[in-house]
Structure 1
Amino acid sequence: MTPQEIADTIGKAAADRDLAARKLGMQLIAMGPGRCVLQMTVQPDMVNSHGTCHGGMIFTLADSAFGYACNSFNRNAVAQQCDITFLKPVAVGTLLTATAELRETAGRSSVYDMTVRDAAGDTVALFRGLSREVSGATIPNLGG
């Protein structure tokens, strides 16, 4: 299998297995080696006391894109450290898109950047994650 075929297969399997993402209405838009794009529309039950999207929901979208991307090579990887910067409030009904991109790899650790944008293309949050490869394959006997 090509690296793109492996990433596509991992993305489909992740979307099927990720019950939290499914519960929040996340949709897989694109996968690639070290890359993922997920979307989610902010629902009324996702708001905080200010009436805007709860930061934890935005974090979860970015973290999910991170998880899909860092497992896209069919090597089990987990989050070791993450941080997020919220840049603007998000209203109910807003379609959010999280794009995850691999920046650097050193041994079993990799740095990924996730950008969360609204439908107008404005950046609402920036998320950086450090992944750590652990033993095993995401999907045994797939390759990668």
Structure 2
Amino acid sequence: MWSMTQTPEFPAPADPQLRAERAAAILSVDTPVTDHGIEFVRGDDEGCQMSLTVRVEQCNSHGICHGGITMFLADTAAAYALNTGEETPRWVTSQSASNFLAPGRTGQVLTATARLGSGTRSTRLVDITVTSTDGTVVLETRNTMARLKG
């Protein structure tokens, strides 16, 4: 019997330790992510978590975490949720719809939780929630992910 995470369209499940190893390998060459201080927290066949501690230089003129940085964290979590589950990572975002609900502040840890949704071998939905240190929801977004060809 096929599960939600293992269907004819999706690869076999990858254990959390394998996902952590794959995340480390991707992070070793993903300098935009590491330069912003984004870290892999955990991953499984339901999704993954990534976090970042908001730095002063990541804040806008209003003194809050720049929306682009918050979106970058969410988008990174979506990508790692899929790319750590396969030997050859090939997933990128093709569309994103977001709602900013609260500001992130300097010193707070923002955590993006990406949950894998429905899809096919070539496209997949991922819902991402970014929360602040105290659990406040900062951002909710839905990404459509596309598998690169080749």
Do Structure 1 and Structure 2 share a fold, with TM-score over 0.5? Answer: yes
Code of the aligned partner of 1:112: V
Distance 1:22 1:106 in 2: 30
Distance 1:31 1:121 in 2: 19
Q: Is 2:74–2:114's contact at 8 Å kept on the other side of the alignment?
A: yes
Q: Residues 78-120 of structure 1: CA distance to partner in whole angstroms, max 9, x if unpaired?
A: 1111122100112111110001110111341100011100111
Q: Residues 5-60 of structure 1: CA distance to partner in whole angstroms, max 9, x if unpaired?
A: 54233212122221011111111110223511111011011111111111001001
Superposed, 1:28-43 pairs within 5 Å as: 28-43=40-55
Give 1:96's aligned residue.
110
TM-score when normalising by structure 1: 0.86
1:10 aligns with 2:30: no
Distance 1:34 1:68 in 2: 12
Q: Is 2:64–2:103's contact at 8 Å kept on the other side of the alignment?
A: yes
TM-score when normalising by structure 2: 0.83
Match of 1:120 among 130, 134, 139: 134
Percent identity reads: 29
Aligned residues: 136
Distance 2:84 2:23 in 1: 7
SS of the residue 2:72 aligns to: helix
Give 1:140's aligned residue.
none
Distance 1:27 1:52 in 2: 20
Give 1:111's aligned residue.
125
Q: Is 1:7–1:33's contact at 8 Å kept on the other side of the alignment?
A: no
- The structure-2 alpha-carbon separation of the partners of 1:2 and 1:125, relative to structure 1 and needing over 3 Å to count, comes to closer
Q: Tell me, which stretches of 5 or more residues in structure 1 are unaligned?
A: 137-144
Q: Residues 57-89 of structure 1: CA distance to partner in whole angstroms, max 9, x if unpaired?
A: 100111111111121331511111112210011
SS of the residue 2:130 aligns to: strand
State which drifts further: 127-136 or 92-101: 127-136
Give 1:142's aligned residue.
none
Distance 2:28 2:19 in 1: 14
